[in-house]
Amino acid sequence: MSRPHVVIIGSGFGGIRAAKGLADVDVDITLIDANNFHTFQPLLYQVATAGLDADDIGFPIRRIFRRNRSVTFVLGEVTAIDLDGRTVAVRDGRSFDYDFLVIAAGTISASFGVDGVDGNTFPLKTLDDALRLRSHLLTQFERASAAGDPPVDLGIVVVGGGPTGVEMAGGLRELIDRVFRKDYPGLAATDIPITLIEAADRVLGPFQPALSEQAAATLRHRNITVELGVGVDHVEPDGVVLRDGRRFSAGTIIWAVGVTASPVAGLLGVPLGRGNRIPVADDLSLPGHPNVFAIGDIALPPGDPLPQVAQPAIQGGTHVAAQIRARLAGRPTSPFHYRDKGSMATIGRNQAVVEFPNGLRFHGFIGWLMWLGLHLIELMGFRNRANVFVNWAWNYLTYDRGSRLLLDRPTPAMRDEPLGAADLSSRSEVQNER
């Protein structure tokens, strides 16, 4: 008799945890992801700002389950789900029957209908995004150092004062002041503005106000302009226009405003909830489909929406694995209870804010050490942890950043810029070894 088949869509925090929770159960598991690696998204900004390499925060999925014979990995983008026929199909036409389905496809970045976001801004949601942004920053500085006319606008606007925007702004200031000013001595005296724009009246909205103020003060102290209380009206190719009419010109615009559920949610054909998330019952199953579960960023359990951070996905993965075990054993399912373990965000070297649900909070150097420690622990794989630790130690001691190879070929538009003899075909000049 064939074993029950569990299909899991997505190998992020939730999907991996669900698969691990079922690995010793008498089921066959098919784990489908559009990428062959798991991304540790909290450190994406460090890849974008040349602090870490892509493979420091990406981990091959096949490696994770190498010893679990019951888990089969499928590289493919899910494009159809048939709830009645109990099948999931991927773009290349392959289709997979399931007895249980776990949807853990996360989110994608969202423009929230603001004109000009698509095409003029850099999102930060995937490793591709991080590498594209890093490449763009390096290219901007190469162009500027070639003394083009008109001059290259090195100014940066980060839209969104949540943890991603705050971490990004802090990381960029360090990259520019500690690294680029040495790499590009001709630009050392140039004023390179970084502006953080947040529509709410404080940064780090989910944190206690005192920590938000602490974070904003640190950002300002680090020469980052913080604009609060006014949203973005629209984005132009070379600047951001706020609703009050002010315009901030910038050669780099980073969109760190928020996310919406992965299009996988829309494949179910059920009414979606806030942020296009899948409304689920208290046991995380899809109402009317007790064999289908949604977890993590893509799920909307009853009650107050859970934060779209790693812990709800991890805990959801564990919970759903337990529910599937219960169902197989003929036992009833139980409700999911999220345990808030606290929040943290760093603003760069020696500065972070940390908050626990019991009100305990830390900032400054202690907070930063806690941030470093937790991120090291949460990273997947010993090699990644060791690499990240060595990179961080190196960066801390030398103020240098090793990951700033400009690997992609210059675009035709870039060739039009007056690079002259310094054409980037001699790319070895812009490459730095670790």
Ligand X SMILES: Cc1cc2nc3c(=O)[nH]c(=O)nc-3n(C[C@H](O)[C@H](O)[C@H](O)COP(=O)(O)OP(=O)(O)OC[C@H]3O[C@@H](n4cnc5c(N)ncnc54)[C@H](O)[C@@H]3O)c2cc1C
Active site residues: 167
Can you tell me which of 4, 6, 7, 13 binds ligand X, judged by CB under 6 A?
Answer: 13
| Piece of the chain touching ligand X by CB under 6 A; list 26-34, 144-152, 228-236, 419-427 | 26-34
Q: Does 391 bind ligand X (CB under 6 A)?
A: no
Binding letters toward ligand X, positions 58-97, x by CB under 6 A:
-------------------xx-------------------
Question: Under DSSP, is residue 184 helix (H, G, I), strand (E, B) or coil?
Answer: coil
Q: In the complex, what is the shortest distance from the CB of residue 209 to ligand X, in angstroms, rounded to a whole number?
A: 20
Q: Per rule CB under 6 A, is residue 321 in the interface with ligand X?
A: no
Decide: 166 and 205 in contact? Cβ < 8 Å. Answer: no
Query: What is d(CA 370, CA 362) in angstroms, rounded to the nearest whole number?
Result: 9
Pairing status of strand 37-39 against strand 247-249: unpaired
Binding of ligand X at residue 348 (CB under 6 A)?
no
Minimum CB separation of residue 223 from ligand X in Å reads 23
Nearer to ligand X, 13 or 65 (CB): 13
The answer to whether 33 contacts ligand X (rule: CB under 6 A) is: yes
Q: Report the C-alpha gap between 406 and 160 in whole angstroms.
A: 27
Residues in the interface with ligand X (CB under 6 A) total 34
Which one of 160, 163, 251, 367 is in contact with ligand X (CB under 6 A)?
Answer: 163
Decide whether 45 or 293 has the Cβ nearer to ligand X. 45
Q: Which of residues 225-284 bind ligand X (CB under 6 A)?
A: 262, 264
**Amino acid present at 257:** V
Choose which of 22, 44, 215, 388 interacts with ligand X (CB under 6 A): 44
Please state the separation of Cα 324 from the chain's center in Å. 29
Please, what is the minimum distance in Å from the beta carbon of residue 200 to ligand X? 18
Q: Tell the smallest beta-carbon distance from residue 407 to ligand X (Å).
A: 21
38, β-bridge pairs: 59
Report the residue number, 157 or 424, with the smaller CB distance to ligand X.
157
Asked if residues 420 and 146 have their Cβ atoms less than 8 Å apart, the reply is yes
How far apart are the C-alpha atoms of 343 and 337, rounded to whole Å? Answer: 18
Q: How far is CA 409 from CA 143, 184, 425, in A?
A: 14, 20, 8
Q: For residues 345 and 207, give the distance between their C-alpha atoms in angstroms, rounded to a whole number.
A: 10
**Interface residues for ligand X in 125-154 (CB under 6 A)?**
125
Q: Per CB under 6 A, does 51 bind ligand X? A: no
213-239 in b/e form (b: 16+ CB < 10 A) is ebbbebbeebebebbeebebbebeeeb
Instruction: For the segment 277-316, give every residue that binds ligand X (CB under 6 A).
Output: 296-298, 308-311, 313
Of all helices (H) and strands (E), which one includes residue 415? helix 412-416
Closer of 57 and 242 to ligand X (Cβ): 57
